[in-house]
Structure 1
Amino acid sequence: MKYCPDLFNYRRRMSHEVTIGSLKMGGVNPVRIQSMTNTSTLDTDGSVEQAIRIFNVGGELVRLTAQGVREAENLQNIRFGLIERGYRQPISADIHFNPAAAEVAAQYVEKVRINPGNFVDSARTFKKLEYDDESYRQELEKIRAKLLPLLEICRRHHTALRLGVNHGSLSDRIMSRYGDTPAGMVESSMEFLRICREENFDNIVISIKASNTVVMVQTVRLLVATMLDEGMSYPLHLGVTEAGDAEDGRIKSAVGIGALLADGIGDTIRVSLSEDPEKEIPVALKLMKHVVNCACHLPIKAEVAGVFNPYVYQRREALSVGNIGDAHVPVVVGTGSDFGDLKPDYLKSHLALFTAQQIEAAIVSPVPVKFVQLTYRDLNDELIEQLKSSENIVVILSSDHANPVGEMRAFFHTLMNKDCKVPVILYRKYVDDDKENFQVSAAADLGVLFIDGFGDGIWLENPMLNDDEVVATAFGILQASRVRTSKTEYISCPGCGRTLFNLQTTIAKVKEATKHFTGLKIGIMGCIVNGPGEMADADYGYVGAGKGKVSLYRRKECVEKNIPEEEAVEKLLALIKECEGK
């Protein structure tokens, strides 16, 4: 596992240290927390005020969009405004399509983010282009010619550079050779990294993001392994793009970011919510604290299963016991009886529960499904053989270890090494009256296991919260991990200075109009930077096209352009009804 020093024992990946103004990132420094404003960068006072709100709740770095040279120039005024108010924390410029804006911004801020997908290449068109080796090499030379002036300015002003690859904005050139794959996303980053290394510029941070948590996790793992092969150890910025808002946004972010933090990967994180940006910081802090708290723990001994591939999703092979295991979607077990629209597949009160000590009684029991409660410490060769001998046992796997992810992983890898195909339901109990903290903790603990292909069900308990809240969180983790869809998924960006409509109001309207649909994916994007690409696997898209104008998409195809904003939600609903027959 080149990307991870130890799958079972938490150990943070060692990256090299970068300097972002007064902030040190990577190396032995703590995981840094950041966010991004959604104000116009030409609004100096508004941007200063919002940045201060982010800093005041624990943000350590604030990013602002700079879509043009005018916005880049005004970053100087925002920087001065913050200093006048006593805030010297670093700020970063977010650049798309405009190398000139990046060169200006690099003179005034401590960090500049560029997107390898559109720094040189034009906007993605989804056209299949052909490049022979020579034409491809010429494209790389174009990148070098555009990048070197920026590197020189960054070097002169001690400005850090972030290479931020997004799944939704890969260039047509990368798509032509690698397709819409983790390998393509990694190569998009490596092309720029190799140039930076050749120029001896290493004050670099990297991010590779996607709204699909499985793609995001697999791609970052592959990037770490690829960098290691080429002798690189750049620090990593983690985030799930277009995660959405409310509970869905929190759970989805915790699943994706938490999975990589559990692998020891990550030097800075940004939880992207379609809400006021200062609300992102407490979620990020809770997530980081939860994962890092498992750093000092008793060692877990296990061997990695030879069939496990962390870069490609493959569900662990399990027997079918009723509707559990095999090709069945993971089930949800609930405690209590007061549930909302999402109802569990099984109730605790109806389960035939056995302990490890009662395994022989379970085997001879006449009930059709026997649920045996186990921990990793219960496993031994004799017990595994007993599990293999019965065709109607389901394991309820729990862990009270300080590192539950590592211990539960060890359980699954041991089963695979012993060719034991008993289905397994993941169980965790929390005692927490902070609903947000519960959602973040549960998603971080269990999401990574589903992404790794483990788990045939989920059972959460929390006596401090209502039954429906706990079960809804379980369903949310399954959906965020891409293993079971139970409701419409909204892929919505957090908003920035490029956003062309009131994002929060629009999301609320779209959700209200489409809440009766089941299993659809609807993208709501403030602008076209990542919109069409990040929505590539969405069924329908609502994208800002201009001031007060919206374009509607069905999958990758724009079906109606420049609709007045006040008519757009109604037209989206009509499009869905027409196509879905609902």
Structure 2
Amino acid sequence: MNLFNYSRRKSSEVEIGDKPLGKENPIRIQSMTNTSTQDVDQSVSQVKRIVDAGADYVRLTTQGLKEVESLKKISAELKAMGYSTPLVADVHFNPKVADVAATIVEKVRINPGNYVDPARTFKSLSYTDQEYETELDRIRKRLTDFINICKENRTAIRIGVNHGSLSDRIMSHYGDTPAGMVESCMEFLRICKAENFDNVVISIKASNTVVMVQTVRLLVRELERENMSFPLHLGVTEAGEGEDGRIKSALGIGTLLADGYGDTIRVSLSEAPEREIAVAQKLVDHILTRQNHSLIKAEVATEFNYFEPSRRKTHEVKNIGGHLVPVVISDRLDGSFVTDKNFIPDYLFVGDKLPKVRESSAYILDALHWQGDKNSYPAFTTSQIKLLIETEVDLKFLFISLPELTEDIISMLKKQPEVVLIGNSSHQNRLGEQRALAHKLTEQGITNPLIWHETYKEDDLENIQIKSAADLGPLILDGFCDGIFLQNQGVLTHAQIDSTAFSVLQAGRVRTSKTEFISCPGCGRTLFNLESTIAKVKAATKHLKGLKIGIMGCIVNGPGEMADSDYGYVGAARGKVSLYKKKECIEKNIPEEHAVERLIQLIKDNGDYVEDTEE
């Protein structure tokens, strides 16, 4: 892996029907149905829509043997219609179901957290070394039987670890940590390797983008140590829908794709599954524009830890840098100074159009034509260093790229602590050059804050959400971000760009500006209408800034994935909902029609509710 020069990780090839995965094959796109697998007609129709949208694989939930029988019918009907796209059975809690499913579909996903280990109960367990080894023997014997069935039927296995469904055994031994997630996966991979079974794909997911990225990086390191090259399936679980779902997915998946990881991806949206495909394809296409770029010569900063990044050390300049949250700069070159009261940028970039009357509480960033207004600050380019030095003000901005970071500029920065850098790039691999800039500043001991300037030409909001999240994600998660400045040439409004910027920072978990909703994409296990439920919960709670609310269709990942949520709304049975405070179930089996009202009451009872003043 090279931080500065893009290339894909070399992985082994896995046979999945007529769509092999890994090695030199394209990055595959996939989704999952949200119909009941027992409803053959509805499932067939939805699979067709997903495939027609461009999916390479389609996964279906497979709770029991009835669903396996339905899978057989679904597969037969699809093949009769000319659809040969590989199907994947998603199995939890029941190894016998996985055994039978492996004789029918092209791939079976099993979850190490509940394949042999029982479903998690958040209980702390204690094992002696011998007892722990006995548990591993149990897994080894059961998994070996399954592997033999897969060998006979040329069926691939996905070992799919989810942060939300680690077993109590792993949790008790390793804690709720990336290391525990990696070990949960490696236990199963070592058995596969011992049995000479290589037709394996790995996924290791979380709803927290920081945990998700860190865990995959640690996993790849462990795979290399143990001489394994299995292909990787990437995804952010419970990403949500709309803007949040797209940005959160693009930031997490995009960061790992940028590192060269990932042979197949799924963008999990709480929407119709066929809508996931275009988002995933846009993300992959954007990353692949970096292929075959000119070489970027750079070195990793000595103090940088790729596996556990910490924020780059900077000094504070007014409200920028240090331990302060990253700022948002927004373009107002058209002379419009109105801002959305929910997403007010910290600075407005206005060029020489200083407003006489301002309708925003943001500071003014006045490029090139600074007029000395007490609430405005000058911005310079590297061709104006003399003017920058001579201008006496407590905050200055300097637009800079890697080629412009000369010895003279480095010397100047060490003497000008009031300068905030705005890093940009016109390189084909813009991210690689920006990373190189950040590492060079770090290695040189420069502690001036660093804001990232990203420019686009987009008329489609989804495009800029995906691209900006993918471009900024690695810089945010690696700790090199004191602010972002999104600039777009197109028809999108200032409010749309500002909302995107704040949402990118929130997805990177460095600045919270709104309620965070952690919602699953839905599947055949979902026990209520997910989209309408999310809409109801959002309508009632979206003004509660700073709260995290989980909305889960069932208990497979529910309590675990929303463990860091403040409140949870989880499907308990058909038409029934359970409410959680953190990991604790507070009320069980509430009729769905009363569940949102009871959720609000629970939030009020805990003192976290405020009235919506906009109503």
- For residues 484-524 of structure 1, give each alpha carbon's deviation from its aligned partner in whole angstroms, at most 9, with x where no partner exists: 00000000000000000000000000000001111110000
1:384 Cα offset (Å):
1.1
State the partner residue of 1:444.
470
| Matching of residue 429 in structure 1 with residue 455 in structure 2 | yes
| Matching of residue 144 in structure 1 with residue 140 in structure 2 | yes
Match of 2:505 among 478, 501, 504: 478
| Matching of residue 553 in structure 1 with residue 580 in structure 2 | yes
| Matching of residue 59 in structure 1 with residue 85 in structure 2 | no
Which sits farther off after the overlay, 64-73 or 236-245? 64-73
**Secondary structure of the corresponding residue to residue 428 of structure 1:** strand
Q: Distance in 2 between matches of 1:181 and 1:38?
A: 30
Asked if 1 retains the 8 angstrom alpha-carbon contact of 2:30 and 2:266, the reply is yes
State the partner residue of 2:444.
418
Q: Distance in 2 between matches of 1:359 and 1:277?
A: 52
Which amino acid in 1 is paired with 2:580? Y
- For residues 307-343 of structure 1, give each alpha carbon's deviation from its aligned partner in whole angstroms, at most 9, with x where no partner exists: 1112213101011000000010000011122432211
Asked if 1 retains the 8 angstrom alpha-carbon contact of 2:213 and 2:252, the reply is yes
Q: Which runs of 5+ in 2 are unaligned?
A: 351-363, 366-377, 611-615
Q: Distance in 1 between matches of 2:26 and 2:460?
A: 25
Match of 1:374 among 377, 393, 400: 400
Q: Distance in 2 between matches of 1:88 and 1:32?
A: 15
Asked if 2 retains the 8 angstrom alpha-carbon contact of 1:42 and 1:74, the reply is yes
State the partner residue of 2:339.
339
Q: Distance in 2 between matches of 1:166 and 1:11?
A: 27
1:148 Cα offset (Å):
1.2
State the partner residue of 2:128.
132
1:119 Cα offset (Å):
0.4
Q: Which runs of 5+ in 1 are unaligned?
A: none
| Matching of residue 565 in structure 1 with residue 592 in structure 2 | yes
- For residues 365-421 of structure 1, give each alpha carbon's deviation from its aligned partner in whole angstroms, at most 9, with x where no partner exists: 112210000011101222112112111000011111111111110001101111111
* Greater radius of gyration (CA): 2
Q: Distance in 1 between matches of 2:259 and 2:39?
A: 40
State the partner residue of 1:578.
605
| Matching of residue 248 in structure 1 with residue 244 in structure 2 | yes
Match of 1:388 among 414, 427, 436: 414
1:217 Cα offset (Å):
0.4
1:73 Cα offset (Å):
2.1
Q: Distance in 2 between matches of 1:338 and 1:126?
A: 49
1:581 Cα offset (Å):
5.0
| Matching of residue 39 in structure 1 with residue 40 in structure 2 | no
Q: Distance in 2 between matches of 1:304 and 1:327?
A: 23
Residue pairs, 1:69-468, within 5 angstroms: 69-336=65-332, 337-340=337-340, 341-349=342-350, 350-351=364-365, 352-464=378-490, 465-468=492-495
Q: Distance in 1 between matches of 2:568 and 2:244?
A: 18
Aligned residues: 578
Q: Distance in 1 between matches of 2:296 and 2:485?
A: 23
Which sits farther off after the overlay, 191-200 or 362-371? 362-371
Which amino acid in 2 is paired with 1:308? F
Which amino acid in 2 is paired with 1:499? T
TM-score by length of 2: 0.93
Asked if 1 retains the 8 angstrom alpha-carbon contact of 2:236 and 2:249, the reply is yes
Q: Distance in 2 between matches of 1:257 and 1:124?
A: 27
Q: Distance in 2 between matches of 1:153 and 1:73?
A: 17
| Matching of residue 28 in structure 1 with residue 21 in structure 2 | no
Which amino acid in 2 is paired with 1:443? A
* Identical-pair percentage: 60
- For residues 410-435 of structure 1, give each alpha carbon's deviation from its aligned partner in whole angstroms, at most 9, with x where no partner exists: 00110111111110110111011011
**Secondary structure of the corresponding residue to residue 411 of structure 1:** helix
**Secondary structure of the corresponding residue to residue 574 of structure 1:** helix
TM-score by length of 1: 0.98
Q: Distance in 1 between matches of 2:411 and 2:78?
A: 65
Residue pairs, 1:7-26, within 5 angstroms: 7-26=3-22
Which sits farther off after the overlay, 80-89 or 491-500? 80-89
**Secondary structure of the corresponding residue to residue 554 of structure 2:** coil
**Secondary structure of the corresponding residue to residue 92 of structure 1:** strand
**Secondary structure of the corresponding residue to residue 15 of structure 2:** strand
- For residues 149-192 of structure 1, give each alpha carbon's deviation from its aligned partner in whole angstroms, at most 9, with x where no partner exists: 11111100000000000000001111111111111000000000
Asked if 2 retains the 8 angstrom alpha-carbon contact of 1:92 and 1:113, the reply is yes
Asked if 2 retains the 8 angstrom alpha-carbon contact of 1:73 and 1:104, the reply is no
| Matching of residue 498 in structure 1 with residue 525 in structure 2 | yes
CA RMSD of aligned residues (A): 0.8
**Secondary structure of the corresponding residue to residue 457 of structure 2:** coil
Which amino acid in 1 is paired with 2:551? I
Which sits farther off after the overlay, 205-214 or 124-133? 124-133
Q: Distance in 2 between matches of 1:543 and 1:360?
A: 61
**Secondary structure of the corresponding residue to residue 135 of structure 2:** helix
Q: Distance in 1 between matches of 2:504 and 2:235?
A: 17
Q: Distance in 2 between matches of 1:455 and 1:581?
A: 32
Q: Distance in 2 between matches of 1:552 and 1:121?
A: 25
Q: Distance in 2 between matches of 1:105 and 1:363?
A: 70
- For residues 205-259 of structure 1, give each alpha carbon's deviation from its aligned partner in whole angstroms, at most 9, with x where no partner exists: 0000000001000100110010000000000000000000000000000000000
Which amino acid in 1 is paired with 2:189? L
Q: Distance in 1 between matches of 2:583 and 2:270?
A: 22
Asked if 2 retains the 8 angstrom alpha-carbon contact of 1:332 and 1:346, the reply is yes
1:70 Cα offset (Å):
1.1
> After the TM superposition, which parts of structure 1 deviate over 4 Å for at least 4 consecutive aligned residues?
none
Q: Distance in 1 between matches of 2:244 and 2:411?
A: 40
| Matching of residue 507 in structure 1 with residue 534 in structure 2 | yes
Asked if 2 retains the 8 angstrom alpha-carbon contact of 1:354 and 1:372, the reply is yes
**Secondary structure of the corresponding residue to residue 475 of structure 1:** helix
State the partner residue of 1:469.
496
Which amino acid in 1 is paired with 2:401? T
Q: Distance in 2 between matches of 1:255 and 1:116?
A: 26
- For residues 112-169 of structure 1, give each alpha carbon's deviation from its aligned partner in whole angstroms, at most 9, with x where no partner exists: 0000011011111111111121111001011112111111111000000000000000
Which amino acid in 1 is paired with 2:325? V
Q: Distance in 1 between matches of 2:319 and 2:68?
A: 57
Q: Distance in 1 between matches of 2:331 and 2:599?
A: 38
**Secondary structure of the corresponding residue to residue 398 of structure 2:** strand
Q: Distance in 2 between matches of 1:265 and 1:514?
A: 37
**Secondary structure of the corresponding residue to residue 533 of structure 1:** helix
- For residues 52-78 of structure 1, give each alpha carbon's deviation from its aligned partner in whole angstroms, at most 9, with x where no partner exists: 000101101000000111111211100
Q: Distance in 1 between matches of 2:449 and 2:415?
A: 13
**Secondary structure of the corresponding residue to residue 24 of structure 1:** coil
Which amino acid in 2 is paired with 1:514? T
Asked if 2 retains the 8 angstrom alpha-carbon contact of 1:204 and 1:235, the reply is yes
1:463 Cα offset (Å):
2.9
Q: Distance in 1 between matches of 2:122 and 2:102?
A: 31
Which amino acid in 2 is paired with 1:286? K
Q: Distance in 2 between matches of 1:548 and 1:343?
A: 40
Which amino acid in 1 is paired with 2:556? V
Asked if 1 retains the 8 angstrom alpha-carbon contact of 2:544 and 2:609, the reply is no
